[in-house]
Amino acid sequence: MRARARVVVERGPDGRSVVRELRSQPPLTLLPQRGAAAARSAAATVHMIGSASSPLGGDDVALDVEIGPGADLELTGVAATLALPGQAGRPSRLVVRLRVAEGAGLQFLPEPTVVTARADHHTELHAELGDGARLRCRDVLVAGRNGEPSGRYRGLVHVRDGTRPLLVQEQELGDAGLQGSAAHLAGRRVLGTEVLVWGEDPADAVAGDWWSLCPLPGRGCLASAVGPDAVAARRALAAAAAAHPGWSTTALRTSAALR
């Protein structure tokens, strides 16, 4: 299955962010938030919905996101993704391209991806940030369903601040020796990472139980966490994000505004 999806968000004359273009097709369907919840926020919210069994081996899916100057978008998943083997023996592939213009903000928050036994799933995420752009980008990988070994997963994350690279990272699942290593999963099933390019960064790296927050060259931080399940890993990621001065200040302001 080959599918393409695209969302473009711009800042309107009233200061609110507006979805100007929205195109998608199964297995990835994009739906904008509407109603009272959308009216309360100046940012746009779009939900990513899996509308077919995917990714299956051989699937080729791409998502392009463009945020205009000063606009804000929260792009969220609604359910976990199951990477499954296909009959053709080919890998499945997902490529995400994020372009965030000057002064704009993007939260890219998909739900966890479960790499099932015999799956072979490849992903790429490329993010380009303009001057003063903000990015929060989360990725949670689960090595197999409960009681089964992980399939093969390879992922690339490439974040650029203008012409300067902030982060180039490769991730891999499916190697039992690697997953047992203290430098990788330490025997745990779930790996969570979150890129935070969002205001003030900590002066030094910070770490807690099963999580770390490390400043990137230039600006931004990478939060990493491992856990026995997705819930524990996401809690650890939340603890790492709370240690980030820029993001924690924004989260407190948002919470106060909703009261």
pLDDT of residue 259: 46
pLDDT of residue 212: 96
Nearest by Cα to 223 from 182, 142, 167: 167
Question: DSSP label at 229?
Answer: S
Measured distance CA(179)–CA(147) in Å, rounded? 15
Please report, for the chain, how many H helices and E strands are present, in that order: 4, 18
One digit per residue, pLDDT tens: the chain, 259 residues?
889 999 999 999 999 999 999 999 989 999 998 876 666 788 999 999 987 777 889 999 999 999 999 999 999 999 999 999 987 778 999 999 999 999 999 999 999 999 999 999 999 999 999 999 999 999 999 999 988 999 999 999 999 999 999 999 999 999 877 777 877 788 899 999 999 999 999 999 999 999 999 999 989 999 999 999 999 999 999 999 999 999 998 876 654 444 4
Q: What letter would DSSP give residue 55?
A: P
**pLDDT attached to residue 127:** 98
Task: Report the 10 Å Cβ neighbour count for 15.
Answer: 9
Helix, strand, or coil here: 29? strand
Place of tokens 């928050």: 109
Q: What is the pLDDT of residue 50?
A: 86
86 alpha-carbon distance from chain centroid:
24
- pLDDT confidence of residue 37: 65
Instruction: Match 């190697």 to its residue by tokens.
Output: 175
